[in-house]
Amino acid sequence: MQVDDALLSKLEKLSFLKINDDKREEIKEQLSEIVSFVDNLSNLNTDGVDDKFAMSDASTKLREDRVASSQEISEDILSHAPNSADNFLSFQKS
């Protein structure tokens, strides 16, 4: 599928974006490449792929849910911050 000016204008309107005239050709080419890639995915041979296995939890390890206090979460966030003071992130230049 080729993205043309009509389709790009429709996408522009639906997305509430304004594409500059000097970028329109570049965007059309990029969108056409993306659509072609997705079209190619539909041609993949998936014979022998078990639907149950592909979408099962066996393929992705999930962590166990646990309840954490807001204080614990704040401390964890602040422990990774380069600068903090009085339980707040500090963005002062060094």
Indicate the SS3 state at residue 45: coil
Instruction: Using alpha carbons, select from 29, 31, 26 the residue that is nearest to residue 11.
Output: 31
Please tell me the distance from the alpha carbon of residue 86 to that of residue 19, in angstroms, as a whole number.
44
Question: Is the CA virtual torsion 64, 65, 67, 70 positive or negative?
Answer: positive
The yes-or-no verdict on residue 94 having pLDDT over 60 is no
Q: 59 or 82: whose pLDDT is higher?
A: 82
Q: What is the pLDDT of residues 37-46, one digit of tens each?
A: 999 888 888 7
Please tell me the distance from the alpha carbon of residue 78 to that of residue 88, in angstroms, as a whole number.
8
Q: What is the pLDDT of residues 23-73, one digit of tens each?
A: 999 999 999 999 999 998 888 887 877 666 555 555 667 788 888 888 888
What pTM was estimated for this model as a whole? Answer: 0.48
